[in-house]
Structure 1
């Protein structure tokens, strides 16, 4: 049985490191630097979603698949504002809930999604992305 991680309390530095990670990732996304974004991931990458009927699905992506898919999604000049709330499971695992608004062509969209970050060799890497509605 693994040692318990119940009661883990992140330090201010732990929380700041997650927010700093997202600031770097968001800057890369805004520039459309999908290779840089991929450098911040742990592959294979898990993606979990559902469809309009509420049927969930999960899949894994290689680095190559991630780069190909994200190339068509990021860097389009959309303005995104995010509030992120990290929920530490342990020193090396954090699930981050993001509440965001994105403005595209004058229309504002609200988003909620989650990312599991894993700390490896002192650096955070995203490993699982969770967002509803992509399963159509």
Structure 2
């Protein structure tokens, strides 16, 4: 959606009468949208927020995922809560392929996730294959193809999320993982990067 907005804004600039009359000017005129208020395209948009330390950001996120595994293993739910930027948006689907999504505040998230978190086996082991797209120094998309071993069984899954850097710390803002829609309402939503989606055969 953000890309569509950017395309519309740029199109507005290029097709405006002012642009057509002033192509030879040194600076392109600002778009005005529908409000008549000039918009300086040099001051907004993804071209103004390109990552400045992309390699560093990737390492931060990799470490953040590893930290999440340690937090989960010791069942430190308060530490897990600190890794979410509330409200958070969570998306899943059911066995019929029907998608469902909801925004959760802190209290709703605690009610949904804490019972599952407290029952997490202590022998759980995680392996991740991460895909990280750095949008800016404070926004990133994360995909995770993971394997999870617990109770002598191995499971594999994939999830995706949007991370934001708030007050110097990376946090979940949105999270999606398939297959949780058939669970009781109190348990819908998965468990961060730690849900089990598909049992390996």
- Interval containing the TM-score (normalised by the shorter chain): 0.7 to 0.9
- RCO comparison, higher one (Cα < 8 Å, 6+): 1
Unmatched runs of 5 consecutive residues or more in structure 2: 1-8, 10-43, 183-201
More displaced 10-residue stretch of structure 1: 105-114 or 67-76 = 67-76
1:87 aligns with 2:133: yes
CA root-mean-square deviation: 2.0
Unmatched runs of 5 consecutive residues or more in structure 1: none
Take 1:122 and 1:40, find their aligned partners in 2: how far apart are those partners?
12
Structure 2 residue aligned with 1:73: 116
1:127 aligns with 2:173: yes
Moved over 6 A (4+): none
1:52 aligns with 2:95: yes
- Does structure 2 conserve the Cα–Cα contact (< 8 Å) formed by 1:5 and 1:90? no
- Does structure 1 conserve the Cα–Cα contact (< 8 Å) formed by 2:158 and 2:177? yes
Find the structure with the greater CA-based Rg.
2
Structure 2 residue aligned with 1:4: 46
Structure 2 residue aligned with 1:102: 148
Change in CA separation of 1:4 and 1:34 when aligned onto 2, cut-off 3 Å: same
Take 1:5 and 1:90, find their aligned partners in 2: how far apart are those partners?
10
Instruction: Note the alpha carbon deviations across 1:52-106, whole angstroms, 9 max, x for none.
Output: 1111111122222322332233332222212222112222211110111112322
What TM-score, normalized to structure 2?
Answer: 0.61
Normalized per residue, which structure has more helix? 2
- Count of equivalent residues: 136
What TM-score, normalized to structure 1?
Answer: 0.87
